[in-house]
Amino acid sequence: MRLLYGVVGEGMGHATRSRVVLEHLLGRGHTVRVVVSGRAHAFLSERFAGRPGIRIEQIEGLHMAYEGNAVALGRSVVENLGKAPASLARNLATYARMDFDADAVVSDFESWAFFFGINRLTPVISIDNMQIINRCEHPDAITDDTNFKLAKAAVKLKLPGARHYLITTFFRPPVRKERTTLVPPILRPEVLAARREPGKHVLVYQTGTANEALIPLLQSLPWEFRLYGMRRDAVLGNVVLRDFSEQGFVDDLRTARAVVAGGGFSLMGEAVHLQVPMYSVPLEGQYEQELNARYLAMLGYGRYARTFERDAIADFVETAPERTGYIPRDNSELFAALDDLLASV
């Protein structure tokens, strides 16, 4: 089949998990055209350079600005509005020259590919973790604030009317809508091959580079911290800054005593799979991360916190078990469901 695949470029989680699905689709003999924005474009272009059957197209997507551990909503709006005319022109030009008669569209919460499919009456299959907010039922303990209703309304407007929704998740709330299937988190081959060997260091991950205040907090604690997300290499006492490295990150994750990070789903899914306890501080203004962190704590896989607090982190690292009770699963459930959906198309 000829498949158009849309990937959100904000953060690297969408790119790394989409790489896994793209590898599967190429292995099944499909021809794939990928549209992707942001840092994810460079990552996927390098990963699939020279591979037959796949072509990567760059589009423009939204960018989030950060202040500390929060989304800077005002600055995000201003920056995106400032580049909106040029971004729209580029995306329309890409659409105009898209000489690709797709049999189906797969979208990882990406709108360009979705609108391409809707406009050309092509079936759209959604693969992401966000739709769980709208298409499942959640206990009151998880959704006890008005932010849930706002997030639910926003997600409902994203990719409406898709043929089917494959939702990746490590928690399994009841499904409340048809055309919805829950599958385990998408895991990279490096994570599936990794073996848990608890060490003494703590892995720390930050989505943006703005939370510099976290470094002195970590320096006041007695453990070694390996911090990813600052996009540079440096040694600052017991805090080791590490630039992006797929294999290096997996090795640091599988051998970590614990993880301290936000509430992003990709890392959380990998930590849960490897049974590494996680201290999760969701980005302010990102309800999906809030939902992930609350389920993480409810299921006993880690702890949810609103802020990075020195004493709370110290208590978590000191008392964290070497392993959690999660039962690891591979990608076979997702691949089987996706193959069935494509066959039905």
- Position 96 scores a pLDDT of 62
Contacts from 336-345 at CB under 8 Å and sequence distance 24+? 337/166, 337/181, 337/183, 338/21, 338/24, 338/106, 338/125, 338/127, 338/166, 339/28, 341/125, 341/163, 341/164, 341/166, 342/1, 342/3, 342/30, 342/104, 342/125, 345/1, 345/103, 345/104, 345/123, 345/163
> Rounded to an integer, what distance in angstroms lies between the CA atom of residue 259 and that of residue 267?
9
Which residue shows structure tokens 């609350």? 294
Residue 76 pLDDT: 44
Rounded to whole angstroms, how far apart are CA atoms 300 and 277?
9
Q: What is the pLDDT of residue 65?
A: 43
Q: Is 32 helix (H, G, I), strand (E, B) or coil?
A: strand
Neighbours of 117 (CB within 10 A): 24
Structural domains of the chain, with CATH: 2-187+330-344 (3.40.50.2000), 189-319 (3.40.50.2000)
Q: What is the pLDDT of residue 183?
A: 98
pLDDT at 61 (0 to 100)? 59
Residue by residue, pLDDT tens for the chain (345 residues) are 999 999 987 667 889 999 999 999 999 999 999 999 888 899 999 999 999 999 999 987 555 444 555 554 454 454 545 555 666 667 666 766 788 899 999 999 999 999 999 999 999 999 999 999 999 999 988 887 778 989 999 999 999 999 999 999 999 999 999 999 999 999 999 999 999 999 999 999 987 665 788 999 999 999 999 999 888 999 999 999 999 888 899 999 999 999 999 999 999 999 999 999 999 999 887 899 999 999 999 999 999 999 999 999 999 999 999 999 899 999 999 999 999 999 999
| Residue 217 burial (CB count, 10 A) | 15
Whole-angstrom distance, CA of residue 140 vs CA of residue 91: 41
For residue 243, the number of C-alpha atoms closer than 13 Å in the C-beta half-sphere is: 4
Looking at residue 231, its pLDDT comes to 85
For position 209, what pLDDT does the model report?
63
